[in-house]
Amino acid sequence: MTSDQFIGFLLLEEPNVRMVVAGTLLLCGMAALVGCFTFLRKRSLVGDAVSHSVLPGICMAFLLSGEKNPIILLLGALATGLLSLILMEVLSRNRLTRPDTAISLMLSFFFGLGILLLTYIQHQGNAAQAGLDKFIFGKAASITEADLRLFLFSGIFITASVAILLRGFYLISFDEDFARATGFPIKFLRLSLSVLTVWTVAIGIQAVGVVLMAALLITPALAARFWTHSIGRMLVIAALFGMIAGYTGSFVSYLAPAMPTGPWIVVMATFIAIVSMFLAPGRGLLARWNTRSKNREKTLLENILKLFYQIGEKSGQLQGNILEEDLLNHRAFGHDELRKGLKRLTSKNLLESNLLTYRLTNQGLLEAQRIVRLHRLWELYLQRYLHLEPDHVHDDAEAMEHVITPEIEAQLELILGNPETDPHNTIIPPKA
């Protein structure tokens, strides 16, 4: 690819490129918006079933009209798409079958019926049916100006509908019973969301086909979920990711004309989801690994400090010199693990090292007292309020002492009445 071709694509100099890019941007943005609610309602497979169920509607609309009018085909797709949703709902709510079985049944039946009708149309010899089979795998390059106008209208309609009904969609996605109790029209909201989903699928299959449309609904929503806990931000991020996938997929297809646009859009959306899965702050795999690593280190360091305090408490010298071997004899640390912890505590000025011995600094003593205090307060709480025996509270307290916040500590003190001893009659260190 030459630099002129690259610049030409970026500037959208060719009319067909403008048509394809604009169409895929609109389709991917719409699909991502609607797909967020499908994803949040844990109905991802429903989107797959709906995308397959619109094919017989398209075929029947063509048989009745004899032409590939986008509006007529869309109405046919809406009819069978909504019918499949209604049938899935009836089968599931009346407990005639399990929800996953109902989804599989509708997907198989409607897609099989669509293939039969498509085969029948192809054997009719009607010249107008040329290209109808592209609805199976999609062909974004066939987007026309009339299609683009339909996409633009649909994008405005879907975005406006989501904005108006956002609160209701939010509630039925997370707690339908609460939405019903507060007076929201549940049936209307479910029907509206179903119509928007089927509408999006019906107009989207021209670009990516019935086989891949479910991925276009769910993948940008999945990627966006890693980046935020806010439904509003999730909708914006999902739409942005969907449009990026649409643009980059179109670009790859432009680079290699033999490469179909629809599948590449899905591949790029999946790539974005994988990157988000690893790199997103807070919920990404690397962030979680980093958090777990920090928590393991925090637990190790606090356990070492606590052990220093307990040994010093028994000897009567809280800041006495302690050998590495003494620490290993009192608690089952790994040797390398203990050395790593001692080195880290020394670097944080919580321990002082002198040849083979270590001692608590003033700062380290305060921190050790805090940890021991939390441990013994929690032991007392477990014994007093959960009625555990004194010899059964240590392990639970050991787990909790590392995650207790200052607010919880204050509540423990308030509830327990600033106690002086724990269930083993050991002195609880005063608050520093």
Instruction: Provide the 10 A C-beta neighbour count for residue 65.
Output: 15
Taking residues 353-368, report their average pLDDT.
89
Instruction: Provide the 10 A C-beta neighbour count for residue 427.
Output: 12
Task: Report CA torsion sign: 322, 328, 330, 334.
Answer: positive
pLDDT at 351 over 90: yes
For residue 129, the 8-state DSSP code is G
- The pLDDT value given to residue 219: 92
Q: How far is CA 208 from CA 157, 194, 225, 234, 239, in A?
A: 21, 20, 23, 23, 17
- The pLDDT value given to residue 244: 93
- The pLDDT value given to residue 13: 63
Under CATH, which number does the domain 288-416 receive?
1.10.10.10
Query: In sequence order, which residues have a C-beta less than 8 Å from that of residue 28 and are 6 or more positions away?
Result: 216, 220, 242, 243, 245, 246, 265, 269
**Selection from 185, 116, 132, 143 nearest residue 26 by Cα:** 143
For tokens 């032991």, the residue is 379
Query: In sequence order, which residues have a C-beta less than 8 Å from that of residue 38 and are 6 or more positions away?
Result: 44, 46, 47, 197, 217, 218, 221
- The pLDDT value given to residue 66: 77
Under CATH, which number does the domain 13-281 receive?
1.10.3470.10
The ranges assigned to domains in the chain are: 13-281, 288-416
For residue 318, the 8-state DSSP code is T
- Distance of alpha carbon 271 from alpha carbon 241, whole angstroms: 10
pLDDT band at 135 (very low <50, low <70, confident <90, very high): low
**Selection from 355, 348, 350 nearest residue 308 by Cα:** 350
Residues 298 and 345 sit within 8 Å (Cβ to Cβ): no
- Distance of alpha carbon 16 from alpha carbon 20, whole angstroms: 6
pLDDT at 315 over 60: yes
In the chain, the percentage of residues whose pLDDT exceeds 90 is 23
Residues 138 and 209 sit within 8 Å (Cβ to Cβ): yes
- Distance of alpha carbon 259 from alpha carbon 192, whole angstroms: 36
Residues 279 and 286 sit within 8 Å (Cβ to Cβ): yes
DSSP string covering 34-47: HHHHHHHTT-HHHH
pLDDT band at 90 (very low <50, low <70, confident <90, very high): confident
- Distance of alpha carbon 228 from alpha carbon 225, whole angstroms: 6
pTM above 0.85, yes or no: no
Query: In sequence order, which residues have a C-beta less than 8 Å from that of residue 415 and are 6 or more positions away?
Result: 381, 385
The SS3 call for residue 146 is helix
How far does Cα 320 stand from its chain's mean position?
51
Strand intervals (E) in 269-316: none
**What's the whole-number average pLDDT of the chain?**
84
Taking residues 154-178, report their average pLDDT.
90
pLDDT at 1 over 60: no
